Each structure stands twice: as structure tokens, then as C-alpha cells.
Structure 1
Amino acid sequence: MAYAATVEPMTADDFLSWESKQPIRHEFIDGEIFAMVGVTRQHATVVGNLSVVLKQHLKGTPCRVYMADMKVKLQTANAFFYPDVFVTCSEKDHQAELFMSEPRLIVEVLSESTEAYDRGDKFEKYRQFASLQEYVLINPIKRKVDSFRLDNTGHWVLYEFDGDAPIEFDSVGLMLDSAVLYEDV
């Protein structure tokens, strides 16, 4: 998704009220608003495939999966984001309606226009979530997955999955055949 700044700076509460009346989604970072634009067929397909598998895998657990239309709020950065896919296992989040605040797993499907941002500034902000255990970047064209996992020393460690290799989503205990992730891409 490409981002473009729009409107005057506002508070987080003003943003929530304003965005509820908008025809498209927007991310909010410390008073600035960024319009979210459309995705490719490959992007949408990978998001759908992963969401279905995660939902089936997490059935009967306290964890829930959400797709691109649910926001996460990062209090420490005064920000709201729309991850492509995320999982929360938080009872607090299960009671929330407009946004979640304790993601365990966040997945972004990359495009040429967002890759640098997703790997850089966005990941820097996402690391501020105390609940986050894994951040996954999927490139559907290159069939490459980079999984950043928080280890027990507080460091983020990169695990790479290329081509036909199975993909491990450690934070939710899922080993996924790459053919399932890329089906119909």
C-alpha cells in the first residue's frame, strides 16, 4: 500500500472520529494522517490465504486473527496502523471494538512502494509493542519471507524462508507449507 499525507494534524480521538466518516482507511502517526491505497491481486491473495490458515490453526485458543480492516493502536508512538494480518491473544483486545493494542504477531505483505517503510520506520515503531513476539514480511513476487522474532535477550533475530521452504510462524506455533501461502498467486 502506498501512503500519502493528508489533512491537518489532529489528536488521536479526533482521528478516530474523522476516519469513521472516510471512504478509505488511513494510518495515524503522532498527528499526521496517511491515506492507504489499494493492493495488488497477489497481495490480497497472500493476505487471504494466511488469514484462513491462521484462523483454522488458532481455533480453540485464546488467540484471534485480524486482517487489514482492523487497526492496532501503539500508545507509545501516538499511532494507529492497519497491519495486513495480525494475531492478538489478549483478553483486553477481545473486548475492544475499534482497535487492538496487544498484537503478538504482525504480518505485512510487501510491495515496491512500501517495502523500505515496512522494514524501517514501521518496524521501528512496531517494536514498541510490549506484546509483539514476531514481525513477518512477505514478498509474494520473490516468494521470500523474513520473520523477525524477539529472543529471550530482547534482541530481534531474522529468520529467512525462501522459495518452497516451509514457513514457521513461531509466535503462534504454526509451520506452514509455502504452497499454501502462495496458492493462486
Structure 2
Amino acid sequence: MAAMVAVPVAQYVSPEAYLAAEATRPIKHEYREGYVYAMAGGTDAHNQIAGNVYTLLRTHLRGGSCRTYFADVKVRVEEVNCYYYPDVMVTCDERDRTTNTFKRYPCLIVEVLSEATEAFDRGDKFADYRQIESLQEYVLISQTRLQVDVFRRNEEGLWVLHPYSEGDRVSLASVGWEGAIAEFYEAVDLPSPKERPPVADQHR
């Protein structure tokens, strides 16, 4: 996701008012507990990675009952009153065919990390996404190094981290996809080791 910037509001904004306004805005906004946040633009690497993931999953799932969405379709987290724009998400639930601008029952959500959003994506946003009963996997992809973190819900309902790095094959069990991590980074110019932020900063 691109960076979120708080938009000052004088009072609580209802979900209905947010959706009505969002339909006419030239800039996308996310919605969390009555507050509206503008989304800043992303980077070349961010766009390429998200596009690669969408293409891989869309091709893999073509002809089936699942649908893959890229950037412009929101996910509704009703339990915590939020609307987010995942970089990529997949839903296989027929109930999601009845809504055009948002989905409620994704099985897979993918976010491409940025320096501005990583703490939120790993923290509060992940806590919100965990309230979605249909969600089976949450994927975080670095845009500065070959690094993919797949959080998968196990049979006990606990979220288990499956980390992947250079040379690994990534498995997305929720949609039955497996492939080389390098496929996510096709046509992406990663920074040199000297230009990368320290690993410790990546997981703060």
C-alpha cells in the first residue's frame, strides 16, 4: 500500500458517507474507525511488485471461482469498521460477487511494504485483517530486498510466519500457488546492499 496521511476531520465520518465521497474523489482514501486517510503515490518498485503478484495469481486462478483484485478494490473489515485498499487480494466467496467497490471475504491479502507503511502493515493493519474470518494468508513483500513474509492461519486459528528469501520458492496455500521468489521481483531494480536500510529497521 502507498503511504497513508491523516486528513483532518471535524467529526466522525460514517462508513456510508465515506463510500459516497470516495466514489467521486480523484485520490484514494482509506477509512479506519471513523477517520479518513489519503493515500500517497507509490514507487516504481512497489508498482512492479504488486503488478507481478497480481499477474501471477490472476493467471494461476483463471477459469476458476476465485477472483484477484489489484489496488483499486477495497476490503471491508466490518468487525473493526475499516476499509482498506490491499495491493492485491483474492476472494473465492460467492457473496463477494454482489459488491463492486469492496469485498468482505478475502482468503489472501498481499501488501508491498514501504518505509512509511511497514510498521502499520505489520502492526495495526495486520491486527485489523486478522478479524476477517475468511482470511487464510497475509503476505508482506519487501521492495528493498528479496524478502517475502507469509503469515498463515493454522488449524488452531493461530497465525504462523513462513519467511522466504533469495533462492526460495514461495508457497501460497490459500490459493494453491507456488513459485520462485524471483517471480515477484521481475523487472524490479533492487537497491544495492549499501543502499538498503538495516535489517533491524525492516522489522520494527
- On whether the aligned pair clears a TM of 0.5, the verdict is yes
Query: Quick check: 1:59 aligned with 2:62?
Result: yes
Letter of the 2:36 partner, please give it. Answer: I
Could you list the runs of 5+ residues in structure 1 that have no partner in the other structure?
Answer: none
Query: What's 1:149 paired with?
Result: 152
Measure, in 2, the Cα distance between the counterparts of 1:137 and 1:26. 21
Report the structure number with the largest CA radius of gyration.
2
2:26 paired residue number: 23
Q: Work out the CA distance in 2 between the residues paired with 1:115 and 1:10.
A: 26
Aligned-pair Cα RMSD in Å: 0.9
Shift, 1:21, TM fit? 1.4
The superposition leaves residues 47-101 of structure 1 with CA deviations (integer Å, 9 ceiling, x where unpaired) of: 1111011011001221110011000111111110000000000101122112100
* AA of the residue aligned to 1:160: P
Partner of 1:70: 73
SS state at 1:21 partner: coil
- Number of the residue aligned with 1:174: 177
Q: Partner residue of 2:4? A: 3
CA distance in 2: counterparts of 1:94 and 1:58, whole angstroms: 16
* Distance in 2 of aligned mates of 1:34 and 1:165: 36
> Are 1:165 and 2:163 an aligned pair?
no
- Aligned amino acid, residue 25 of structure 1: K
Count of residues in correspondence between the two structures: 185
- Percent of matched pairs sharing the same residue: 44
Mean Cα deviation higher: 162-171 or 43-52:
162-171
In the superposition, the TM-score normalised over structure 1's length comes to: 0.97
Identify the match of residue 129 of structure 1 among 113, 128, 132: 132
Q: Which runs of 4 or more aligned residues in structure 1 lie more than 3 Å from their structure 2 counterparts after TM superposition?
A: none
Give me the whole-angstrom Cα distance separating, in 1, the residues matched to 2:21 and 2:30: 12
SS in 1 for 2:132: coil
Instruction: Classify the secondary structure of the residue corresponding to 2:163.
Output: strand
SS at match of 2:16: helix
Matches within 5 A, 1:108-127: 108-127=111-130
